[in-house]
Amino acid sequence: MNKNKIISCLCLLLSPAVMAMQPMDDQSLSVATGQDGLNINLSTPKIEFKQLAVIDPDGWDTKSVAAAEYRNRGALVLAQSPNSTLSNLSITAKSSGAVTNLNVNAAIDVDKGTGANGAFANIGLSFGNLDELDVSKFSVYTAGSNAVSDFGVTSAGVYTQRSIFGASTATLTTGVKELLRLSDGLNIKFLASNKPKMNIQLGAAPQSYMVRLGGAIDSICGTGTGCNMMLVSSYATESDPTTAPVGASFKFQMKASNSSTGFRLDNFHAGIESDGLVFGNYVESCSTTPATCITSDSVDLRLNEIKFGNDMTTIPAVGSSNYRFNGLQNSPIGNIGFTNASVTDLKMKVSGL
């Protein structure tokens, strides 16, 4: 068989697959039933990245805000803590306490809908044997104009991604400020009998919301006294992120009050409205029809070892600029928290992005 015939045969064999990957327009989607659908399985032991940013391109870009208000690009960035010895920020999956592969199954299909409801795509996500997620230590930063990226600043029509760090994680670039540091990372443990899941609908969304969550959380930072968090104000040496951070610190811990049911996510949902991103477990009719209101499962929440200011290993002389608390070493002021607490008709909205 000559080369031309071989190529012709390959084209005939591959043509159905090629056609299946073509984008569908609204008319084609409206007549598709998606009965068989598509299943995608992904298995990986760890997810790693340098930085993750949510960028607001125009600040307070609204007529109701004074012209003097900030209107340039800004961002919240998730990345390694300053001077970190880690190469990347990582998210690791665990099963029964041991590191395992994160198995993600995506069941995807489309439906032409009925009447005014219209066509929609449905993506059901499940996470196999996932019991826990371990997030390595990290910080949350605020970043000013062009500190994370720019478009058309250095070259017209060109998008340029930038790092919030200088030559290493020991230095922060101009316009970047550390806001929150999690020096122990974060651990999220799910209920073994009700593993996490998520259903996403694009288009008409007959489930009423773009994203619906499922599963149940057993605890967040549930071991010991919790995960250490600090709202960073400065550093032991002012503006030097290589030195110890200074601010308000505490150890965060959340546990489901009922260990049998956990903190169930089944009624929680998220989506996009005309004025921003929304998240919660609310129903729109709650304010007029109390019987429709949704109350979450109860949780026990604690902020342990609350501390303000710097740890002074050497008590400074009376009258020095670092003198604190009449010569006493800075110590935690105590713990606060609540038990069996729940929330009804929770709705959170993020606007302005």
Lowest mean pLDDT among 2-16, 20-34, 38-52, 72-86: 2-16
| 156 or 213, greater pLDDT | 213
Q: How confident is the model at residue 341 (pLDDT cuts 50, 70, 90)?
A: very high
* CA atoms in the 13 A half-sphere facing the CB of 213: 15
Lowest mean pLDDT among 34-43, 47-56, 163-172, 176-185: 34-43
How confident is the model over 280-319, as pLDDT tens digits? 998 888 888 888 899 999 999 999 999 987 765 555 555 5
Per-residue pLDDT at 3: 40
Per-residue pLDDT at 177: 92
- Residue 342's closest CA among 261, 229, 278? 261
Does the pTM exceed 0.85?
no
Most confident of 5-19, 184-198, 234-248, 320-334: 184-198
In sequence order, what are the residues at sequence separation of 6 or more whose Cβ sits closer than 8 angstroms to the Cβ of residue 27?
none
Residue matched to tokens 């057993």:
218
Lowest mean pLDDT among 1-5, 94-98, 104-108: 1-5
The CA distance from 125 to 25, in Å, is 24
Per-residue pLDDT at 11: 45
The CA distance from 277 to 273, in Å, is 6
Per-residue pLDDT at 4: 44
Whether pLDDT at 209 is above 90: no
Per-residue pLDDT at 170: 81
Whether pLDDT at 59 is above 80: no
| 297 or 208, greater pLDDT | 297
Residue matched to tokens 């709650």:
286
How confident is the model over 115-151, as pLDDT tens digits? 666 888 899 999 888 899 999 999 999 988 778 877 6
Domain locations along the chain = 48-61+68-90+138-180, 93-135+183-353
Per-residue pLDDT at 7: 37
Per-residue pLDDT at 5: 41
Per-residue pLDDT at 152: 60
Most confident of 51-60, 159-168, 286-295: 286-295
The CA distance from 214 to 265, in Å, is 5
Q: Supply 159's token pair.
A: 């998008």
In SS3 terms, the chain reads as: CCHHHHHHHHHHHHHHHHHHCCCCCHHHHHCCCCCCCEEEEEEECEEEECEEEEEECCCCCCCCCCCCCCCCCEEEEEECCCCCCCCCEEEEEEECCEECCEEEEEEEEEECCCHHHCCEEEEEEECCCCCEEEECCEEEEEECCCCCEEECCCCCCCEEECCCECCCCCCECCCEEEEEEECCCEEEEECCCCCCEEEEEEECCCCCCCEEEECEEEEECCCCCCEEEEEEEEECCCCCCCCCEEEEEEEEEEEECCCCCCEECCCCEEEEECCEEEEECCCHHHHCCHHHCCECCCEEEEEEEEEEECCCCCCCCCCCCCCCHHHCCCCCCEEEEEEEECCECCEEEECCC
